[in-house]
Amino acid sequence: MKTYVPKRDEINRKWVVIDAEGKVLGKVAVEAARLLRGKHKPEFTPYLECGDYVIIVNAVKARITGNKFTDKKYYRHSGYPGGIREITYDKMLVKHPTRAMTLAVTGMLPHNRLGRSLARHLRVYAGPDHPHSAQLPEAHSMD
């Protein structure tokens, strides 16, 4: 018996909306990464893009546990000596409200060209509105 590998035309992609209001940021990110990757589908193939498009709304209203609101730090480096920059989670929400959620989800995807391609299927919005109503997205429950 041969292993089934789906062809590009056989992969059905849906648009899914996740409402992050009141939910823990990491748990929303895990679910979004699972949907982007396609692990919820029986035709999942590790090296193919077989996941869905994911829209996360109310990213600013996601909960974060413990003292992470003031203690969690995000780092980036310019590539120059002494070019490291750090910003805390609370300041990140003010300056870039969707970036914390985006970094959480992309950190859970593969760190290669497949992961970069899957990250383009993610849309994160700070508020409850999104411009993707034409794609007829389905609401996703995380229960």
Domain boundaries, the chain: 14-65+96-139
Is residue 133 within 8 A of residue 11, CB to CB? The reply is no
> How far is it, in rounded angstroms, from Cα 75 to Cα 138?
34
Q: How confident is the model at residue 90 (pLDDT cuts 50, 70, 90)?
A: very high
> How far is it, in rounded angstroms, from Cα 118 to Cα 50?
9
In percent, the amount of the chain with pLDDT more than 70 equals 100
Q: How confident is the model at residue 142 (pLDDT cuts 50, 70, 90)?
A: confident
Q: Which fold has domain 14-65+96-139?
A: Ribosomal Protein L13p; Chain: A; (3.90.1180)
* Nearest Cα to Cα of residue 27 among 14, 18, 37, 36: 18
The pLDDT score that the predictor gives to residue 4 is: 86
The pLDDT score that the predictor gives to residue 17 is: 98
Q: What is the mean pLDDT of residues 20-49?
A: 96
* Nearest Cα to Cα of residue 16 among 97, 129, 123: 123
